[in-house]
């Protein structure tokens, strides 16, 4: 166990962020903290989540505070099994079939809350629906079992920043603001879960993610695309345009890098630029997804150090995980609305 040096007053007490290893002692401590209403970041197959007891409104409120998220955007709940998830929401035949096909895995399903469900209303921002997910990660699964209750967890980053795919990324943004991070190594998928709304008659894709639209449609039939990012009829409050933002501006569809640019490459990279981060030399979207947030963070730091003016991004095909990658890249490149950017996750 390592104690971080950063300290901060929260609710009048000093917080030292513990780094816990994914061994029996570390996991027992993480579960104990969660049951005690504390904030524990933990790894999943997608990104690290900032976990809290979803049935404890004070603990959930502390998530918003730690992330610096000024508005109550609904959080998703994590469970060790579909059976546990479906105790809190009403699952119809469509939900049962996506659960069989994709859980455990990177899919969040929005369903009506069950009457009398113990999840705090704040977790779902007062909506009558709840996002539920069963992560495909042995450490997360065991932690969720040990915690013995629904765990709310948005990505473990400061509001408007890049999602973390390692314990070090979590500490970059939240050291001193949360009780612990459970280190389970880098995340294999690297982009967040796909968010699928099954609360109405037509399945709606609210966020592309680790499960591709093609495989959802193979299971469910046609799935409607959600409102475009930043669109008027935004159904998922967290999906505002300017998100996943590095500090440097982002230029998309770059075929080459200018002398003053840092390059995010996909496939063979052209010469030029101050520095290069290769997402996937061989052109694999799965490899690129796993490396995306790490690459944006690295270019942001290294580019700034070398005086780069912006990050140039080579095109990534839309197939498979490419759709999720391009969604995140478009958000990273979207104009920075100083108010809107603060209002998101």
Binding site for Mg ion (CB under 5 A): 155, 345
Q: Does residue 238 bind ligand TXA (CB under 6 A)?
A: yes
Q: Which stretch binds ligand TXA (CB under 6 A): 26-34, 150-158, 164-172, 286-294?
A: 150-158
**Of 111-140, which residues contact ligand TXA (CB under 6 A)?**
124, 127, 129-131, 133
Minimum distance from CB of 163 to ligand TXA (Å)? Answer: 7
CB distance 55 to 67 below 8 Å: no
CB-based contact 91:154 (threshold 8 Å): no
Query: According to CB under 6 A, which one of 76, 99, 213, 288 is a site residue for ligand TXA?
Result: 76
Q: Is 154 in the site for ligand TXA (CB under 6 A)?
A: yes
List strands edge to edge, sheet with 250-251: 250-251, 310-313, 261-265, 275-278
**Among residues 55, 59, 74, 170, which is the contact residue for ligand TXA, using CB under 6 A?**
74
Name which position in 53, 88, 175, 192 contacts ligand TXA (CB under 6 A): 192
User: Within 13 Å of residue 74, how many CA atoms lie on the same side as its CB?
Assistant: 23
The owner of tokens 């999943």 is: 44
Residue 157 Cβ vs ligand TXA, minimum distance, rounded to whole Å: 8
3-state secondary structure 305-332: HCCCCEEEECCCCCCCCHHHHHHHHHHH
Complex with ligand TXA: residue 17 or 236, whichever CB lies closer: 236
Cα–Cα distance for residue pair 206/224, rounded to 1 Å: 9
Q: How far is CA 138 from the centre of its chain?
A: 18
Copy the structure tokens of residue 37.
């209403």
Using the 8-state DSSP alphabet, how is residue 187 labeled? -
- The tokens for 235 are 């159904």
Tokens of 199: 């609360």
Give me the least distance between CB of 168 and Mg ion, in Å please: 18
Shortest gap between Cβ of 338 and ligand TXA (angstroms)? 20
Q: Which is nearer to Mg ion, 160 or 322 (CB)?
A: 160
Long-range contact set of residues 18-23: C-beta below 8 Å, sequence gap at least 24:
18/179, 18/180, 18/181, 19/167, 19/171, 19/180, 19/181, 19/183, 20/180, 20/181, 20/182, 20/183, 21/182, 21/183, 22/139, 22/182, 22/183, 22/184, 22/185
With CB under 6 A as the contact rule, the residue among 55, 165, 184, 193 that binds ligand TXA is 193
Q: Is 159 in the site for ligand TXA (CB under 6 A)?
A: no
Q: Among ligand TXA, Mg ion, none, what does residue 327 contact (CB within 5–8 Å per kind)? A: none
Which of 91/110 has CB closer to ligand TXA? 110
Among 202, 231, 229, 237, residue whose Cα is nearest residue 217: 202
Give first-to-last CA distance, the chain, whole Å.
Answer: 29
**Which residue of the chain is nearest Mg ion when measured via CB?**
155
Minimum CB distance to ligand TXA smaller for 49 or for 295 = 49
Q: CB count, 10 Å around CB of 274? A: 20
Q: Tell me the per-residue interface mask from 198 to 217 with ligand TXA, x by CB under 6 A, - otherwise.
A: --------xx----------
Residue 127 or 275 with smaller CB distance to ligand TXA: 127
Nearer to ligand TXA, 108 or 278 (CB): 108
Neighbouring CB atoms inside 10 A of 24's CB total: 9
Which of Mg ion, ligand TXA, none lies near 296, with the C-beta cut-off 5 to 8 A by kind? none
* Residue 43 binds which entry of Mg ion, ligand TXA, none, CB below 5-8 Å type-dependent: none
Shortest Cβ 107–Mg ion spacing (Å): 16
> Smallest distance from the beta carbon of 195 to ligand TXA, in angstroms?
5
Residues within the interface to ligand TXA (CB under 6 A): 44, 46-47, 49, 73-76, 106, 108, 110, 124, 127, 129-131, 133, 153-155, 192-193, 195, 206-207, 235-239, 345
């Amino acid at each position: 166990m390592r104690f971080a040096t950063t300290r901060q007053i929260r609710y009048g007490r000093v917080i030292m962020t513990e780094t816990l290893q994914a061994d029996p002692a570390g996991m027992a401590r993480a579960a104990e903290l969660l049951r005690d209403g504390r904030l524990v970041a933990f790894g999943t197959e997608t990104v690290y989540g900032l976990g809290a007891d979803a049935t404890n409104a004070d603990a959930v409120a502390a998530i918003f505070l730690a992330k610096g998220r000024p508005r109550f955007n609904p959080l998703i709940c994590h469970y060790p099994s579909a059976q546990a998830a479906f105790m809190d929401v009403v699952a119809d035949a469509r939900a049962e079939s996506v659960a069989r096909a994709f859980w455990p895995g990177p899919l969040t399903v929005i369903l009506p809350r069950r009457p009398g469900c113990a999840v705090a209303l704040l977790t779902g921002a007062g909506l009558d629906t709840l996002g539920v997910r069963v992560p495909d990660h042995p450490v997360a699964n065991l932690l969720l079992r040990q915690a013995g209750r629904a765990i709310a967890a948005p990505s473990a980053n400061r509001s408007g920043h890049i999602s973390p795919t390692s314990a070090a990324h979590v500490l970059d943004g939240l050291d001193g603001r949360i009780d612990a991070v459970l280190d389970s190594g880098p995340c294999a998928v690297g982009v967040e879960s796909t968010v699928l709304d099954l609360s109405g008659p037509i399945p709606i894709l609210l966020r592309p993610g680790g499960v591709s639209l093609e495989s959802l449609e193979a299971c469910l039939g046609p799935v409607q695309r959600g409102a475009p990012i930043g669109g008027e009829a935004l159904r998922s409050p967290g999906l505002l345009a300017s998100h996943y933002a590095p500090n440097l501006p982002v230029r998309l569809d770059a075929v080459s890098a200018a002398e003053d640019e840092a390059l995010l490459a996909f496939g063979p990279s052209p010469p030029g630029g101050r520095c290069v981060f290769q997402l996937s030399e061989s052109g694999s979207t799965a490899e690129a997804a796993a490396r995306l947030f790490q690459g944006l963070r690295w270019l942001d730091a290294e580019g700034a150090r070398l005086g780069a003016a912006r990050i140039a991004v080579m095109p990534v095909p839309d197939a498979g995980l490419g759709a999720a990658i391009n969604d995140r890249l478009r958000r990273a490149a979207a104009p920075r609305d100083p108010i809107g950017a603060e209002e998101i996750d």
